[in-house]
C-alpha cells in the first residue's frame, strides 16, 4: 500500500468508477443520441491496462470499485477483468461491483458471483414493456427482468436505479415501489443530469425534481431519513408503512459534493475528478509509456490534487446551467 489519496478539501478518495466501454446495447433517450459515434478499439484501454490501472488505485487506497459503461457486460472478455480484480477483494478492496442495464445479466450473473460480486445496480425506469422500449429505444423489458431474477437466484443483492422522468415514470411511482417491495429489491431514484447533447430531447421537459417525487410519496407514506450509506451519493429513507428502504440521488436539488469520495475513469483512461466538470487527466499515456507504474501513480496523485469542490449543475432558473458536453455513457454513470 502507498499513501492514501486525499484531495485539496481533505476528502479521502476511496471509490473508483471505471467505464470499460462507451458502447451500449440500449439507446436510452436521456443518455445517448440514437446515432452515436463510438470510439475505435485502439483508443480503449485494454483489459490488461484496465487491470493495471485499477490495481494502482487499490494500492493507493481505493476500497470500492464499480464497473460501468456504456454497458459493461457488452465489453468483450470483461469476465477476465472481473476475475482478475477479485484477487484484490479482502486485500485492500472491500467491494467489486457494477452498474448494468441488465440485458446480459442472465448470462453473467453466475460468473460475476464467482468473481466476488455481491451487489449489482440495475438501471430500470419503467415496468411497462411498451414504455421500456420507448425509453431504451432498443431494449427488452423481459430480458432485463430475467437478468434481475438470475442475479437474485445466485445470491446477489440487486438495487434498481430509476431516473425520475416527468411525464414518463411519474405515473408509475407507486407501482415501482410495490414491485421492488414484492421482489425484495432496493430502489433508488436519480435526478436527470444535464450531460451531453440529446438532439430533440429537452432536459427541462424530462426533469422531475426528487423533492416533488417525495411530496407525492408523502401523500401515502411516511418517510424517515436513515443514516445507512453505501459509499455512494445516495441518501436513504425508510418507508414507514412498508419498512422499505428508498434511495435518492439528487445532484440538482441537493448535492452532496462535500462528502464526495469518488473519481471516474473513462474507457480511454481519462480520469475525471468530478462528474460535472470538464477537467481531467490522461492515464493512458503513462500506462502506455512504461511497464512500471511510477508514472501512472504520479499522474493519479497529481490529478487528485486538482479535484474540484463540486459540480455546477443547476436548473433552478428554469434554464440549464452547468451542462457538460459529454454523455453519461462517456464518463460512466
Interaction site with ligand SAM (CB under 6 A): 24, 30-31, 68-69, 71, 99-101, 123, 161, 163, 190, 192-193, 195, 328-329, 333
Residues 318, 80 contacting (CB under 8 angstroms): no
Q: How far is the CB of 30 from ligand SAM (least distance, A)?
A: 5
Q: How far is the CB of 328 from ligand SAM (least distance, A)?
A: 3
Which residue's Cβ lies closest to ligand SAM? 333
Q: Using the minimum distance from each CB to ligand SAM, give the nearer residue, 30 or 108.
A: 30
Q: How far is the CB of 262 from ligand SAM (least distance, A)?
A: 14
99's CB contacts (< 8 A; 6+ apart) are 66, 67, 68, 69, 72, 120, 121, 122, 123, 161, 332, 333
Q: How far is the CB of 300 from ligand SAM (least distance, A)?
A: 23
Residues 7, 15 contacting (CB under 8 angstroms): no
Q: How many whole angstroms separate alpha carbon 39 and alpha carbon 70?
A: 11
Q: How many whole angstroms separate alpha carbon 161 and alpha carbon 146?
A: 17
Q: How far is the CB of 44 from ligand SAM (least distance, A)?
A: 15
SS3 of 287, please? Answer: helix
Q: Using the minimum distance from each CB to ligand SAM, give the nearer residue, 81 or 221.
A: 81
Q: Using the minimum distance from each CB to ligand SAM, give the nearer residue, 75 or 88.
A: 75
- Residue 104 Cα distances to 25, 71, 119, angstroms: 10, 9, 16
Q: Using the minimum distance from each CB to ligand SAM, give the nearer residue, 5 or 190.
A: 190
Q: How many whole angstroms separate alpha carbon 327 and alpha carbon 132?
A: 20
Q: Using the minimum distance from each CB to ligand SAM, give the nearer residue, 194 or 286.
A: 194
Amino acid at each position: 500500500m502507498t499513501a492514501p489519496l486525499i484531495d485539496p478539501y481533505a476528502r479521502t478518495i476511496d471509490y473508483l468508477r471505471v467505464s470499460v466501454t462507451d458502447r451500449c446495447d440500449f439507446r436510452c433517450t436521456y443518455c445517448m443520441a440514437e446515432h452515436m459515434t463510438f470510439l475505435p478499439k485502439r483508443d480503449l484501454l485494454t483489459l490488461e491496462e484496465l487491470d493495471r490501472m485499477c490495481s494502482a488505485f487499490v494500492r493507493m487506497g481505493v476500497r470500492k470499485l464499480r464497473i460501468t459503461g456504456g454497458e459493461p457486460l457488452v465489453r468483450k472478455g470483461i469476465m477476465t477483468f472481473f476475475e482478475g480484480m477479485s484477487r484484490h477483494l479482502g486485500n485492500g478492496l472491500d467491494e467489486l461491483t457494477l452498474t448494468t442495464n441488465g440485458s446480459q445479466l442472465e448470462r453473467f450473473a453466475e460468473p460475476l458471483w464467482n468473481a466476488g460480486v455481491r451487489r449489482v445496480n440495475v438501471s430500470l425506469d419503467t415496468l411497462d414493456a411498451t414504455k421500456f422500449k420507448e425509453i431504451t429505444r432498443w431494449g427488452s423489458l423481459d430480458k432485463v427482468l430475467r437478468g434481475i431474477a438470475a442475479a437474485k437466484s445466485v445470491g446477489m443483492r440487486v438495487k434498481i436505479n430509476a431516473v425520475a422522468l416527468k411525464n414518463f415514470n411519474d405515473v408509475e411511482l407507486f407501482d415501482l415501489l410495490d414491485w421492488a417491495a414484492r421482489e425484495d429489491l432496493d430502489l433508488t431514484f436519480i435526478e436527470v443530469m444535464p450531460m451531453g447533447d440529446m438532439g430533440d430531447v429537452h432536459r427541462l421537459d424530462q426533469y422531475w425534481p426528487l423533492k416533488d417525487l417525495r411530496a407525492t410519496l408523502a401523500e401515502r407514506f411516511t418517510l424517515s431519513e436513515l443514516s445507512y450509506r453505501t459509499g455512494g451519493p445516495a441518501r436513504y429513507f425508510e418507508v414507514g408503512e412498508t419498512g422499505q428502504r428508498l434511495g435518492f440521488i439528487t445532484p440538482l436539488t441537493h448535492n452532496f459534493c462535500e462528502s464526495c469520495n469518488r473519481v471516474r475513469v473513462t474507457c480511454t483512461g481519462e480520469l475525471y475528478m468530478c462528474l460535472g466538470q470538464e477537467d481531467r487527466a490522461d492515464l493512458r499515456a503513462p500506462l502506455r509509456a512504461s511497464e512500471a507504474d511510477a508514472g501512472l501513480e504520479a499522474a493519479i496523485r497529481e490529478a487528485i490534487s486538482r479535484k474540484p469542490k463540486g459540480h455546477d449543475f443547476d436548473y433552478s432558473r428554469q434554464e440549464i446551467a452547468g451542462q457538460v458536453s459529454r454523455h453519461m455513457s462517456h464518463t460512466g454513470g
